[in-house]
Amino acid sequence: MPELPEVEVVRAGLAPAVTDAVIESATVIDGRALTRHPPGASDFEARLLGRTLGGPARRGKFLWIPLAPGAPGAVPAEALVAHLGMSGQMLLRPSGAPPERHERVRLDIRHPEHGDLAVVFADQRTFGSLAIDPLQDTADARAGGYGTDDALVPAQVAHIARDPLDPGFDLRAFRRTLEHKASAIKRVLLDQTVVSGIGNIYADESLWAARIHPDTRASDLSTRAVYRLIAEVRAVLEKAVAEGGTSFDAQYVNVNGQAGYFAHSLNAYGRTGQPCARCGAPIVKVSFTNRSSHFCPHCQRPPRLTA
C-alpha cells in the first residue's frame, strides 16, 4: 500500500503540471473509483468541468488539489481529494494518450505553460478513490498539510493526524499522547489518528533505526526515546521520498510511471534471516495483527515483562 513517501512523490510530481491548470473535461470510466463521492459520476464530471486547479497538498496518505473559487482572491471552498488505497496511481500523460491499464478516471487539463495534458487515475484493485470534498478550517489554525499555506483541510481528511514531515506536527503534543498509550509503539505509529503517513514498512524501518523493539509499550518510552524515534521517522521518510518511494511490484509508480528504489535501502522490513546492518544478528519476522514485524533481536531489545 502506498504510504507517505509514495504519496508525497506523487504530490510533488503533479504540482508543476496541475497548479493553475483548467479542467477541460472529466471522464469517469469506472464508478468504483468514486466510493468517497456519494453523488456519483455525473455530479463529479459536471462539478469539475471548467474548474481551475490549485497546488496539490498532502496529509499522511491523503492527497488533495484545491479547486479555485469563482471570485478573485476568495479562498477555495472545496478540493479534489485522492486516496490511492492499495494500488491507486495518479499518472500524467500527453493529451489524447491511449487508455492506461486499469484506468478509472481521466481529467483532460490545459496548463498555461505546459499546454494540454491528461491526469489519469488508474487502480488495479479498486480500493482507491477520488472525491470532491468541502474544505474546512483546521482545528489548530495552521496550514492544512504539506504543500499548502492555507489553514484548510478536506472534511474527509480532518480526522487524520498530522504526519512527521508536516510543519504543523507538534512533537511535544505527540509525546504527551504517548504517555497515555499502553499499546505497543508500533501499533501507535500505525494509528492514523495519532500520527499519519507511517505504514508497516516505515514503522519497521524507523523502529530499527531508533533501536526500539516494536512491542515496547508507548507509555514506557522516555522523552529522549520519543524524540529519537521521531527524528529517525523523519530521516527514513525523507530518504524514501528522495529515492522515489518503495516499489516491490508495478502497482506503485510515480506520475511518470517510474518505480521508486527505496527497497534497496531497507534495513529491517523484508530482510528476514539476513544479517542486521548494525550488529550482524539475523533479522527476525513475527506476526503482527494481519501483518508482520521485522526487527533485530539484538539491537532492539524486547521490553521487560512486568508483573
Q: Distance between CA atoms of 10 and 18, rounded to whole angstroms?
A: 12
Q: Which of 11, 59, 61, 104 is catalytic?
A: 61
Q: Which of 3, 6, 78, 205 is catalytic?
A: 3
Q: 74 by DSSP, 3-state: which?
A: coil
Is 113 marked active-site?
A: no
CA nearest neighbour of 241 among 165, 174, 144: 165
C-alpha cell belonging to residue 195 = 500520527
Task: Tell me the backbone φ, ψ of residue 264, rounded to 5 degrees.
Answer: -75, -10
DSSP-derived secondary structure for 22-37: EEEEEEES-GGGGTT-
Task: Tell whether residue 186 is among the known ligand binding residues.
Answer: no
Q: Which of 2, 56, 164, 214 is catalytic?
A: 2
Q: Which of 32, 110, 176, 291 is catalytic?
A: 291
Task: Tell whether residue 181 is among the known ligand binding residues.
Answer: yes
CA nearest neighbour of 174 among 136, 211, 228: 228
For the chain, the first-to-last Cα distance in angstroms comes to 38
Sign of CA dihedral 169, 244, 148, 4: negative
CB 260 within 8 A of CB 6: yes
C-alpha cell belonging to residue 33 = 473509483
CB atoms within 10 A of CB 205: 26
Is 291 marked active-site?
A: yes
Pairing of the two strands 78-83 and 62-67? antiparallel
Task: Tell whether residue 285 is among the known ligand binding residues.
Answer: no
Residues 249, 195, 64: CA angle, nearest 5 degrees: 65
Q: Binding site residues, as ranges?
A: 102, 125, 181
Q: Binding site residues for DNA, as ranges?
A: 102, 125, 181
Residues carrying an active site annotation: 2-3, 61, 291
